[in-house]
Amino acid sequence: MDSHLKGVLMALLAATLWGVSGTCGQFLFQERAMPVEWLMAVRMLTSGVLLLLVALLRKDSNVWVIWQDRRDRRGLLIFGIVGMLTVQYSYFAAIKHSNAATATILQFSAPVLIAVYLAVRYGKRLNALGYLAIFLAVLGTFLLVTHGNIRSLNISPLAFALGMASAVSLALYTLMPGRLLAKYSALSVIGWGLFIGGIGISLIRPPWDVEEIIWDGYTYANTVFVVLFGTLIPFYVYLKAVQLIGGQTASLLTSAEPLSATLIAVLWLGVSFQALDWVGALLIVSTVFLLSVGNVSKGHS
């Protein structure tokens, strides 16, 4: 198989698995009384350990070297708690209080936040595409949340706040480890980030505290899917895709995530998604395509 096609398929697979895992999380939270904190602890600890084991099997020396530099240690700890844990928790908490489709779409406004931040950070002005992306993201969010009626919310204020928090935290998660990723392997950085975040959330809800959860075959199956097929496998596959087709193309293909989350939520869990919801979702997803066309900022003239 052609390496480019292989990379495209791998990126699409990763995005689809992420989207489906969000719907599995919704089922666990709303149908099996599983606390968000418990699933996050199990998901992050298990996936972090397994990713680090993969790195060790590949004889990746970065697994231990990354802890030798004081600045890198501090950066890794901050990334694990502020970056990895925050983005994971806010996203799944938004799912619990709304649904997987809405939470995933709201989080997908993160690329616009990143573009605006980078423009401000480096003293550049957004061009027409940048402003169009912002407009479409705001309009799409407005339609998704209000159905066009500014006096009413289609989701609860808490769900909206968590959804936007997940977008901001995803932007932070994307920008924070830049220096670490330039110096160490992505497997080591992400593996330790997941493990550190898992330790942090375990202080709130340890993995052995399984009270309240309704356990049956569906609970086990969906939990395994979220941990393995929604975390470990897509993270690894996506990293391979980035190596084959580059980060820009791979990130563009992640638009399959909100679409897969929406379709599965509607077909499986019966989530109501009206015409204006679809319009809002497509407007938000379209911003990724606009931001991928070219640079959305330019220097001062």
Q: What is the CA radius of gyration of the chain?
A: 19
What DSSP string runs through the chain?
A: --HHHHHHHHHHHHHHHHHHHHHHHHHHHHHS---HHHHHHHHHHHHHHHHHHHHHHTT-THHHHTTTSHHHHHHHHHIIIIIIIHHHHHHHHHHHHS-HHHHHHHHTTHHHHHHHHHHHHTT-EE-HHHHHHHHHHHHHHHHHHHTT-TT--SS-HHHHHHHHHHHHHHHHHHHTTHHHHHHS-HHHHHHHHHHHHHHHHHTTS-TT--TT---SHHHHHHHHIIIIIIIIHHHHHHHHHHHHH-HHHHHHHTTHHHHHHHHHHHHHS-----HHHHHHHHHHHHHHHHHHHS-SEE---
pLDDT band at 205 (very low <50, low <70, confident <90, very high): very high
pTM comes to 0.85
pLDDT tens digits for range 208-217: 999 899 999 9
- Quick one: how far is CA 167 from the chain centroid? 8
- pLDDT value, residue 91: 92
pLDDT band at 92 (very low <50, low <70, confident <90, very high): very high
Strand partners, 297: 126
Strand partners, 125: 298
How far is it, in rounded angstroms, from Cα 131 to Cα 241?
A: 29
How far is it, in rounded angstroms, from Cα 253 to Cα 116?
A: 21
- pLDDT value, residue 301: 37
Q: Is the pLDDT of residue 138 over 80?
A: yes
Q: Is the pLDDT of residue 79 over 50?
A: yes
How far is it, in rounded angstroms, from Cα 213 to Cα 167?
A: 28
- pLDDT value, residue 296: 53
pLDDT tens digits for range 214-248: 999 999 999 999 998 988 888 888 878 877 887 66
How far is it, in rounded angstroms, from Cα 114 to Cα 103?
A: 18
Q: Are the beta carbons of 195 and 235 closer than 8 angstroms?
A: no
Mean pLDDT of 75-102: 91
Residues 6+ apart with CB under 8 A from 89: 36, 37, 40, 201
Q: How many residues does the chain have?
A: 301
* Nearest alpha carbon to residue 229 among 6, 10, 21: 21
Maximum separation of any 2 CA atoms in the chain, in Å: 63
How far is it, in rounded angstroms, from Cα 19 to Cα 256?
A: 8
Q: Is the pLDDT of residue 264 over 80?
A: yes
